[in-house]
Structure 1
Amino acid sequence: MNPPDAWNPLREFTDARIALGRSGASLPTREVLNFGLAHARARDAIHQPFASDQLVQPLAELGLSTLTVRSAASDRHVYLNRPDLGRQLNEESRADLAASGARPADLLLVIGDGLSSYA
């Protein structure tokens, strides 16, 4: 009889891969496959384009003004290699922001896709 695993109760508090079990010196096949699937989904999410139109249109219908800007990272490949460019506006967006006549606001929402537009 195996003693109870002290890690099992902690699984309900985290999505971390703990208390997965063992199959000899390795993980059970199901857990290896689950990890592979999660990794593939994460890679797919990184390359999924961000559809800002789906956010802008409903906000415009509510009478709210929006301004869509882009970072200096021209695409995901550039961003993954140069994350610092993701923290800077590109020249066109800088000009758009300056021309927008932005004024002080009570509320400002900033929505960005970061690495995953699914997030």
Structure 2
Amino acid sequence: MSPTKPGAIITVLYKRTPDLKFDLGYFQTTHVPLASKFWLPRGLMEAHAVIPTAESEFAFAMTMYWKSLEAWEDAMKVKEEMEVIRGDVGQFTNGAPLFVVGKVLP
């Protein structure tokens, strides 16, 4: 595996629903930097906000590249940081995030 290839890719999806509220500005300028502050030292390599096409069943997505699946799992175990990150979600959406967690094949 090359040093720049991630070990895990985590995708967070927000389903397109008639009542979905999503403040993309807040998400990009506040939530992503907040999560990155905690997660970059723990193995987050990069993250990208994604707007799916209108035909998609999902309205918004975030794709995160992690050094390893273990790094992601360890970051999820840091209770204080996760409380802050999860507590901020309601500031930008009323939607429930759906996580797709995957290990990158060699």
The answer to whether TM tops 0.5 is: no
Q: Of Structure 1 and Structure 2, which has the larger fraction of its residues in helix? A: 1
TM-score by length of 2: 0.30
Larger Rg: 1
TM-score when normalising by structure 1: 0.28
Judging by fraction of residues, say which structure has more strand: 2
